[in-house]
A = this chain, B = another copy of it.
């Protein structure tokens, strides 16, 4: 199992790839609020674990596995964000903070239940699965309806 810290690196890199088209040490360090040295070290750990393709001074890319990890985590973020912002009415920035933290600890099962609940309760009526409550679909709907959140 990958550590919390390394997972953070993976997610950060995933977002950077989307946002900037490439993944650079400096940008990772910036986003993670840590030194570049620390980034380099973590990249080597991630390489060990087969999560990153990387040679010193070379291009950095995530492997399929890392990509999946990141995607799942970001999907979780969207769901939890909805809980805090739309259901509990926390201000946007607070909701984001909480989502950031809570998404990291939720199990898949809990996430599914939450997605389902939000789906029905918030009445996301523009969704094609509105009365066909099925966990996979609920999660997909939420994903489609919150894409902007990812480009923070």
Contacts and interface: CB of A to CB of B under 8 A. Distances in A.
Interface of A: 84, 87-90, 94, 97-98, 101-102, 104-107, 109-110, 113-114, 116-117
A109 B87 contact: no
Contacts of A101: 105-106
Contact of A117 (B88, B94, B106, B113): B88
Contacts of A110: 84, 88, 90, 94, 98
Chain A at the B interface: SS class: helix
A84 B105 contact: no
Given A90-B110, A102-B105, A104-B105, 7 more contacts: A88-B110, A88-B114, A89-B113, A90-B109, A90-B113, A97-B107, A101-B106
